[in-house]
Amino acid sequence: MMITRRTLLASSAAAAAAASALPAFAATPYSFKHGAFEVTVVSDGHLLLPTSFLAPTAPPAERAALLQAAGQTAEQYQSPTNITLIRAGGDLILVDMGSGDRFMPTAGKLWDNLKAAGIDKTKITKVIFTHGHPDHLWGAVDEFDDPMLPDATFYVGEAEWDFWQGDDAVRGLPAERAGFVTGARRNYAAIKNKVKMFKPGNDIVTGLRAVATPGHTQGHVSLELAGGDGLIVAGDVLTHPLISFAHPEWKPIADHVPDVAVETRKRLLDRLAADRPKLIGFHLPYPGIGTVERKDGAYRFVAN
Ligand SMILES: [Zn+2]
């Protein structure tokens, strides 16, 4: 069953107690129309990450206050994983494929959640990857390393593909990320005959364009959908509902090229606040949709 946010809010008001136990990663997809597109956000579950990953070098008191406000004072926190599905004419387009079955037991729920929503995954014609991290790419294969969507075409940014295949992926790599390279290469290898490379600025289909947002990874891209004031599927440019907006200059551990990521975050936030397109953030509280306004010399995420 597909329900709208309005129905979701109405039903969750009735089940407030249950909802409060499961706020950020509801399985029920949230759908809306945007221009010529129909957009659905499906949860892949959530990641469980060390809270120390969030801006470890930020001023401790300011950091503690924001973590307190986000309810993230324990050693680990839950990071939602929101996957965007776009119906565009005859195409059904998935943006990222989630974690699959061997990254974290709390993630990899995309296929179950699609099925529960009555969405047939074999109808997906195109997949666009924002970047090659496990929670976005490793769902590309099943438990036998066979492609999960053998009939789909896979769109990978050229710079991102080159990064993961090249020597720079392993040079100076922190030990905890070694498995990321092996996993990226395993998943890319399984789909490589069906991969189409693109560059930022290219249209994937009419009205759906890739935008360069490097820094989180070397070739990270976001997607821009035409219609109304616009819609930006921002991948992992803005990963925390408070920190990324109030302090875009703070550097989360997960960013590969931190200085570039900061510049990208500031540039995207400035655009989001000025032009007021909708934003979908992969790791923002489910469904991760909202707008951005200026606040106190920085920015604020307004969920909607
Ligand atoms: Zn991510």
Helices (H), 46-154: 60-69, 110-116, 134-137
CA of 10 to the centre of ligand 1 (A): 30
90 CA → ligand 1 middle, Å: 28
List helix spans (H) across 80-222: 110-116, 134-137, 158-165, 178-191
Residue 219 has pLDDT above 90, yes or no: yes
Query: How far is ligand 1, taken at its centre, from the CA of residue 54, in Å?
Result: 13
Q: How far is CA 300 from CA 66, 77, 267, in A?
A: 13, 21, 15
Cα–ligand 1 centroid distance for 150 (angstroms): 24
Instruction: Report the pLDDT value the prediction gives residue 13, as an integer from 0 to 100.
Output: 37
Output the pLDDT for position 15.
Answer: 38
Side-chain half-sphere of 140: how many Cα atoms within 13 Å? 30
Please report the pLDDT score of residue 273 as a whole number: 98
Q: Is the pLDDT of residue 283 over 90?
A: yes
Q: How far is Cα 166 from Cα 238, in angstroms, rounded to an integer?
A: 26
Using alpha carbons, select from 287, 290, 295 the residue that is nearest to residue 95: 287
Q: Quickly count: other Cβ atoms within 10 Å of residue 53's Cβ.
A: 16
Q: Give exposure, 201-213, as e/b (b: 16+ Cβ within 10 Å).
A: eeebbebbbbbbb
Whole-number Å distance, alpha carbon 135 to ligand 1 midpoint, is 5
Q: How close is the Cα of 70 to the center of ligand 1, in Å?
A: 18
The rounded distance, in Å, linking the Cα atoms of 273 and 21 is: 32
Expressed in angstroms and rounded, the spacing between residue 241 Cα and the centre of ligand 1 is: 14
Lowest model confidence (mean pLDDT) among 68-77, 172-181, 193-202, 224-233: 172-181
- Grade residue 27 by pLDDT with cuts at 50, 70 and 90: low
Arithmetic mean of pLDDT over the chain: 91
Extract the runs of DSSP E, i.e. beta strands, from the chain. Answer: 30-34, 37-50, 76-88, 91-95, 126-128, 153-157, 195-198, 203-205, 208-212, 221-225, 231-233, 278-280, 289-295, 298-303
Taking only the tens place, the pLDDT of each residue in 244-280 is 999 999 999 999 999 999 999 999 999 999 999 999 9
| Among 192, 203, 204, CA closest to 164 | 192
- Locate all alpha helices (DSSP H) within 169-291, ordered by sequence: 178-191, 243-246, 258-275
Q: How far is the CA of 282 from the centre of ligand 1 (A)?
A: 7
Cβ proximity of 82 and 41 under 8 Å: yes
Taking the centre of ligand 1 as the mean of its atom positions, its distance from the CA of residue 14, in whole angstroms, is 32
- Going from the Cα of 160 to the center of ligand 1, the distance in angstroms, rounded, reads 14
CA of 108 to the centre of ligand 1 (A): 13
CA of 215 to the centre of ligand 1 (A): 13
Q: How far is the CA of 274 from the centre of ligand 1 (A)?
A: 25
Q: What is the pTM of this model?
A: 0.90
Q: What is the pLDDT of residue 28?
A: 67
- Measured in Å, residue 188 CA sits from the centre of ligand 1 at 17
CA–centroid distance, 47 to ligand 1, in Å, is: 9
* Torsion angles phi and psi, residue 291, rounded to 5: -130, 175
Note the pLDDT tens digit of each residue in 129-155: 999 999 999 999 999 999 999 999 999
DSSP 182: H
Query: What does the alpha-carbon distance between residue 226 and residue 262 come to, in Å, rounded to a whole number?
Result: 26
How many Å lie between the centroid of ligand 1 and the Cα of residue 136? 6
